[in-house]
Structure 1
Amino acid sequence: MSDTRMSLKQNLDGVGGDRRFELLVNAVKDYAIYLLDRDGYVASWNAGAERFKGYKADEIIGEHFSRFYTDEDREAGAPERALALAAERGTFESEGWRVRKDGTRFWTSVVIDPVLDENGTLIGFAKVTRDITDKRDAQRALIDSEERFRLLVQGVRDYAIYMLDPKGHISNWNSGAEAIKGYSAEEIIGEHFSRFYTEEDRQAGEPERALRVAAEEGKYDVESWRVRKDGTRFRAGVLIDPIRNEAGELIGFAKVTRDLTERWQAEQQVERAREAMAQAQKMEAVGRLTGGVAHDFNNLLTIIRSSADLLKMPTLSPEKRERYLDAISDTADRAAALTSQLLAFARRQPLKPEVFDVGARIEAMRQMIEASVGSTIQVTIDPPKPGAVNADLNQFETALLNLVVNARDAMPVGGNITISSSTVHNLPAVRGHGGTTGDFLAVKVEDSGSGIAPDTLKHIFDPFFTTKGLNKGTGLGLSQVHGFAKQSGGEIDVSSRIGVGTIFTLYLPMVQRDPDQLSVTRLAGEQQLATRRVLLVEDNENVGQFARGMFEELGQIVTWVLSGEAALELLETASEKFDLVFSDVIMPGINGLELARQINERWHGLRVVLTSGYSHVLAEESYHPFELLRKPYSVKGILGVLGDASSSEGGEGTS
């Protein structure tokens, strides 16, 4: 035992029991502990009482304890009632206001116990008082805070704010929830929150999923349809947060719902207005497009019609006859290229990439380019640089011609156009886009024209944008170049100075070129064609007669039917097998694509080639396994089809 504890024990051993108790009571500073006689007069006073109430012992002993009560409590007889209840029940406990010597009030916890002698006779009371003002203030602040929060939640009418137990049953309900969903608190508390969901959402298990997501991810936040008490639906923004205790255990969910119906309806109206505006803009574009396309096609038709008329002249020399035939053929190709350009712009015609040498192709187009710009413009084509790309050849030629024609139109009184190609090892950052690594072929078309103003330069690749007069162009030329470059993995750049000229640079990714690579058409043309039985399916009589004549001129045996249904019936009943089905795509009833599928399923191995100038059926199919020859097709195209047929091993055919 320590010296201090030994000293304390020795001192207490020398003190009597009553004195030790007095010392104990006086040592307590946090409680007022004192005795009252049976009439309520103070008989003893400890240090804690002096500390709380401000009276010294000699000031208060002999005084009545009622002086610690407030005036209103004394007038109400609270002191006498406290002593009576303590004597009657064996104890009295309460909380209330008391008064210090200086007149200030403090909140107390009071216990009064009766003191009895050895005979059980009441001789006084033991009174213990504690100052709990701070505790009472804290409790009152908490109660006030909770009340303010309750009033806040109840005062919110634009949001349904309520709580769920862990199973999803509603445990409270604010006025906003009643206003939005139509249920009073008495009707809905204790019910499951899934009744607010639509029938289809309940069948799909959405309420359970909502609680699971909230518990696992910390939040569930969606916009969806909910149901009011009257059965009507409303568009709701829903937020569910999990509520956990200090141990991290899930004890429920806080749920906030907002009625977004008006906003949703407004958004739908805006969307409908936007669609109407888009349709109006589309019709405006169609109006602008019609004039430009008519202008371009009329120019092409003029060449074809004039050449056809000249071919009728009996005195025409063989050389001129050959020239006019070439003009018809080349112009038809250009008309097909314009159609292809429109379809590619409308994203209805996929690109058909093939490997070709760009420099050689530019040189091969020299005559066409010179004819397109006229005699007042000097065309210079730099010596071609070797370099191959994998792109759609027709689209490349169209893009180059568009750039050339654009340069021509910038020089109405003549000038110079220079076309060159070079290789670059990295695609530079152009028009605000980031650069790309790799090897690219850069094709430049440079003119000495009037140049392009900076404001105009921002829009030159926009569809239908044109600075030309009415019926002078479609506004699709540069947008076609831009679309071709992007779809080919490349880019288009432009620089221009007013009064000096403009440079367009077309970048295309380079590929390794196989020097022995030849086109399918060339291979087919060099082979000896075998005689095949061809089933021609074409609903247009003029086209059907022309196609049958073309196949027969090439030595084929042709059976022509006008519909997919007739083709299937003939395949079922024909006594001899067919080697090839050549079918249009757009036909009434069974279209060509569906016909091809049925043939593929029922007569596996019978080759099918489809043909179409434009087909939404094919455009909407991301993949189909059938060959396609696009209209307008030529003898060269048919030779390609028949060349493939002659070189193939053949199939089972039909009978």
Structure 2
Amino acid sequence: MSTSEFQKQPPAETFQRLVDAITDYALYMLDTEGRIVTWNAGAERFKGYASDEIIGEHFSRFFTQEDRDAGLPARALATAAREGRFEAEGWRVRKDGTRFWANAVLDPIRDDAGRLIGFAKITRDITERKDRERALRESERRFQLLVGSVDDYAIYMLDTQGHVATWNAGARRFKGYEAEEIIGEHFSRFFLPEDRRDGLPSRILKTAAEKKRFEMEGWRLRKDGTKFLAHVVVDAIHEDGDLVGFAKITRDITEKRRLEQATYDSALQLRMLVQGVRDYAIYMLDTRGRITTWNSGARAIKGYEEEEVLGQHFSLFYTEEDRVRGRPVTALETSLREGKFEAQAQRVRKDGSLFWAHVLIDPIYNELGEHVGFAKITRDISDRKLVEAELRQTQEALLQSQKLQALGELAGGIAHDFNNMMTVMRGSADFMLRQPDLPVDKRNRYLNVMLETAERATSLTSQLLAFARRQPLEPEVVDLSVRLDALGEMLQRTLGSLFELKLDLAPALWLVEVDPTGLEAALLNAVLNARDAMPGGGRITITTRNVTRAGEDGVTLLISDTGHGISPETLQRVFEPFFTTKPTGKGTGLGLSQIHGYALQSGGSASIESEVGHGTTVEVWLPRTARQRERALVPAGDTQVPAGLRVLVVEDSEHVRYFARQLLDDLGCKVIEASNGNEALELMKAHSVDLVFSDIVMPGMNGLELAKRIKETFEDVPVLLASGYSSKQFIPKNEREFPILRKPYKIETLAAGINQLAGTMPGRRLDWKASEPPSVNAQIRVP
């Protein structure tokens, strides 16, 4: 339709077309009762109703149930009719039941006579606008809460003249004013009098207005007149390009400045302290090992001035050999990895001279945990090293003197005892040789005396070996309480009726791994020493306990007496070899020393406590073992071995070889002899042999080497070894290939060792009478 055609339309029709074209507003008419008589496109879009659905319906259906119950539709019509207009905002309801926030205007329609004929209703959906307004109000509310709750900062606003317009909790805390006391007052009242006279408040506002920001630190006043150091920021606030005021943020930094000053003073004092230390070189390195600080001690010890070493790598102080080995790099890496590096080594001064240094390097980290360098402390310990060397020389001289003294005491003790033993042995043997027709019972008495004397000599030799740490120990896993309980009766008989033996043995004792024979010898030595300390009788107490020392579990064995005790000067020497307070011929001085040596060989320790008049306590501490107990091996009482056994005896000592042959002859064996390993191998090529019985310690090829050669060349021939030393000195038990017999041995022990190997001899089997084969005693070990 052209413009001219549109203009020819009747006015009412033209107006209707305009109303129908509007979609952002619901425009419709109501009759005087509020029923809908017209409906436009905007109304259909907002409300959801088509015109044929809604015309004739009452407009109250667009109201919420709450508003209808409150009579709002009727009041709106009445107000519009009475006052000529009704306008409101509120929730309205669409056809689908959803709500929207509406701005509604209701105007009355009157005819030419002024009579009310209806109402014009205009509604607009302002939901989005209300949401934005609500969000803005919520944001403002939250902002006010935020600003109001901040108490570490004074945050407030000034107008363009500098009068306080707002006041938060931080401002109240810092300044001391309540909001009603300060709002409307000029902010210059917070300034010192001299700052007000100098016009500082005005300059602050002028600068902020021109440059949009002003920042400074200075003294300010609280309500009570006290001063505080403040950090101040003033920002200009503009609206539509016009200055409307200022935002002011103030923070009390008095404590912060005090701490900073204290830190500075402390750092200064520390620097003065470090610089004043001359006995230690204290300096810092960067992460690569370059020197960044240097103190007077470093200058005195190393000889370099500060300007000579700053920026240099600290390897400058190392010897050329240490630099080639990478010791400087290793030191820094160790410090980083383990948190510290510490060492004693030689270092080089500026003049090229060497000195002994104690060195400590610690890594340095900043507050973020980042590695920023190293702290290095060096001390010249050359004088200490010299004193230590002199002390070692003195100790060595003293030790040599003590050894000579010990040898002298040995001559008076051991030699005397051995002479007594040899007198008995020689006299008995000479008497039997001169009287070959002695009665059997008398001859047997002489032989028994000789055997007892030989046992005493063996025990003395065992003690001597203990002090040389060569005692032949063969450890077993034992429960000391069980073992000592079994020995109690024997010990009581040994002590006699004048002495009471008390056993205080802990149950559930931890297991230890010790040589039982050595243990019994050590215990017997301690008990006999205790007996000799109580000539008139007394009580001896043997105690066992579980004890943990320095984080290691172990068992203590205590032997206590009620004797006369030991003086302090004597107590210091009781563990020395050959030291004794007994008269000549009454002891060798090896008893307590044997206990000490046995404890050390067993991985433990021995100590003694005593007080004159209050008795003595000897303590042996032995480490706990994780191994389990094995079945105890005992020598067989039966000396039977496979008949006609062919045995090769290898022994470099002619007398021992003769003794071994006699024992084997008595066992019914056929024996051939060799004095060394090479001779034995040659004999085995020429003779058929069932078993080789060899000593371990021999010149040239030793017994272990011979056994391995036999195993390689004559793999079917078993080897039984013998030694007067501990088998542990040659090969650990769990790696042992061959059984080892301890010297001196008896015919029963030798028979048990042979029978232990009888099952490995080709064609040799024995019909044992017992329920199981006899075992070699604890001196024999078969892997």
Q: Aligned equivalents of 1:579 and 1:228: distance in 2?
A: 73
Residue 317 of structure 1: how far off its partner (Å): 0.7
| TM-score w.r.t. length of structure 1 | 0.60
AA partner of residue 249 (structure 1): E
Of 331, 341, 358, which aligns to 1:210?
A: 331
The residue number in structure 2 matching 1:591 is 702
Give secondary structure in 2 for the equivalent of 1:266.
helix
Structure 1 position 305 matched with structure 2 position 423: no
Residue 284 of structure 1: how far off its partner (Å): 1.8
Q: Aligned equivalents of 2:416 and 2:200: distance in 1?
A: 112
| TM-score w.r.t. length of structure 2 | 0.51
Q: Cα–Cα, structure 1 residues 410 and 215, in superposed 2: closer, same or farther, change >3 Å?
A: closer
Q: Identity percentage over the alignment?
A: 44
Q: Cα–Cα, structure 1 residues 444 and 234, in superposed 2: closer, same or farther, change >3 Å?
A: closer
Q: Cα–Cα, structure 1 residues 591 and 164, in superposed 2: closer, same or farther, change >3 Å?
A: same
Q: Aligned equivalents of 1:47 and 1:518: distance in 2?
A: 106
Structure 1 position 321 matched with structure 2 position 443: yes
Q: Cα–Cα, structure 1 residues 496 and 604, in superposed 2: closer, same or farther, change >3 Å?
A: farther
Structure 1 position 467 matched with structure 2 position 617: no
Q: Aligned equivalents of 1:350 and 1:643: distance in 2?
A: 23
1:316-370 C-alpha deviation (Å, 9 max, x unpaired):
1111112222222222122112211222344322434678987887878999x6x
Of 248, 252, 255, which aligns to 2:376?
A: 255
Question: Would the aligned equivalents of 1:496 and 1:503 in 2 still touch at CA under 8 Å?
Answer: no
The residue number in structure 2 matching 1:641 is 753
Give secondary structure in 2 for the equivalent of 1:473.
coil
1:161-201 C-alpha deviation (Å, 9 max, x unpaired):
33322111223444543443344545543332223334554
1:92-112 C-alpha deviation (Å, 9 max, x unpaired):
xxxxxxxxxxxxxxxxxxxxx
Give secondary structure in 2 for the equivalent of 1:340.
helix
Q: Cα–Cα, structure 1 residues 156 and 561, in superposed 2: closer, same or farther, change >3 Å?
A: same
Structure 1 position 296 matched with structure 2 position 417: yes
The residue number in structure 1 matching 2:651 is 538
Question: Would the aligned equivalents of 2:595 and 2:606 in 1 still touch at CA under 8 Å?
Answer: no
Structure 1 position 278 matched with structure 2 position 399: yes
Residue 520 of structure 1: how far off its partner (Å): 4.3
Q: How does 1:182-197 map to 2 (within 5 A)?
A: 182-197=303-318
Q: Cα–Cα, structure 1 residues 264 and 391, in superposed 2: closer, same or farther, change >3 Å?
A: closer
1:435-468 C-alpha deviation (Å, 9 max, x unpaired):
x999x9999999xxxx524538957963444221
Q: Cα–Cα, structure 1 residues 256 and 603, in superposed 2: closer, same or farther, change >3 Å?
A: farther
Q: Aligned equivalents of 1:497 and 1:151: distance in 2?
A: 57
Q: Cα–Cα, structure 1 residues 630 and 247, in superposed 2: closer, same or farther, change >3 Å?
A: closer
Question: Would the aligned equivalents of 2:344 and 2:357 in 1 still touch at CA under 8 Å?
Answer: yes
Q: Cα–Cα, structure 1 residues 349 and 484, in superposed 2: closer, same or farther, change >3 Å?
A: closer
The residue number in structure 2 matching 1:343 is 465
Give secondary structure in 2 for the equivalent of 1:167.
coil
Which piece of structure 1 moves more, 484-493 or 391-400?
A: 484-493
Q: How does 1:17-96 map to 2 (within 5 A)?
A: 47-48=197-198
The residue number in structure 2 matching 1:333 is 455
Question: Would the aligned equivalents of 1:443 and 1:507 in 2 still touch at CA under 8 Å?
Answer: no
AA partner of residue 667 (structure 2): L
Q: Aligned equivalents of 1:276 and 1:147: distance in 2?
A: 52
Give secondary structure in 2 for the equivalent of 1:208.
helix
AA partner of residue 670 (structure 2): I
Question: Would the aligned equivalents of 1:159 and 1:257 in 2 still touch at CA under 8 Å?
Answer: yes
Q: Which has the higher contact order (CA 8 A, sep 6+)?
A: 1
Query: How many equivalent residue pairs?
Result: 507
Q: Aligned equivalents of 2:538 and 2:621: distance in 1?
A: 19
The residue number in structure 1 matching 2:135 is none
1:126-166 C-alpha deviation (Å, 9 max, x unpaired):
xxxxxxxxxxx999999999888777655654433333221
Residue 273 of structure 1: how far off its partner (Å): 1.7
Question: Would the aligned equivalents of 2:282 and 2:378 in 1 still touch at CA under 8 Å?
Answer: yes
1:281-330 C-alpha deviation (Å, 9 max, x unpaired):
23322322332212222222222222212322133111111222222222
Q: Aligned equivalents of 1:526 and 1:278: distance in 2?
A: 49
Question: Would the aligned equivalents of 2:473 and 2:728 in 1 still touch at CA under 8 Å?
Answer: no
Question: Would the aligned equivalents of 1:391 and 1:488 in 2 still touch at CA under 8 Å?
Answer: no
Q: Aligned equivalents of 1:445 and 1:394: distance in 2?
A: 23
Q: Cα–Cα, structure 1 residues 394 and 311, in superposed 2: closer, same or farther, change >3 Å?
A: farther
Structure 1 position 222 matched with structure 2 position 355: no
Give secondary structure in 1 for the equivalent of 2:311.
coil
Q: Cα–Cα, structure 1 residues 620 and 325, in superposed 2: closer, same or farther, change >3 Å?
A: same
Unaligned runs of 5+ in 1: 10-23, 34-45, 52-136, 510-516
1:460-486 C-alpha deviation (Å, 9 max, x unpaired):
963444221234321222444576689
Q: Aligned equivalents of 1:647 and 1:521: distance in 2?
A: 17
